[in-house]
Amino acid sequence: MPAPWMEEESSFEQAVLALSTLGSPQTLVAVLNAAADAYDESAVELEAAWQDPDAGKVWAVAARSLRQSATLIERYWESI
């Protein structure tokens, strides 16, 4: 089943609304990690398709940022 914000034309506001409806911090962590995985895959695919090691760097940086956010949320949740 696609995410609610993917059923219609995608937009930033719809994505934020979908994130705000998540039921728990653990779910948010899972979503951020899944998005990071998808960005990592895109980075690898771009690098291979363009034969350029820098082609997917922006997606790799985005993935790293999402994982860092997920880790911070997870650590905070475990500490309370």
pLDDT along the chain (80 residues), means of 10: 54 78 91 94 95 95 97 95
Q: pTM for this structure?
A: 0.77
Query: Two tokens at 36?
Result: 């990071």
Residue 69 inside a domain? The answer is yes
pLDDT for the residue numbered 21 = 87
Give dist(CA 47, CA 49) in Å, integer.
Answer: 6
Any domain includes 34: yes
Q: Is residue 36 part of a domain?
A: yes
Q: What is the pLDDT of residue 57?
A: 96
The pLDDT of residue 78: 93
Full domain range(s) for residue 36: 23-79
- If you compute the radius of gyration of the chain from its CA atoms, what whole number of angstroms results? 15
62, 53 contact by CB (below 8 A): no
Please count the structural domains in the chain: 1
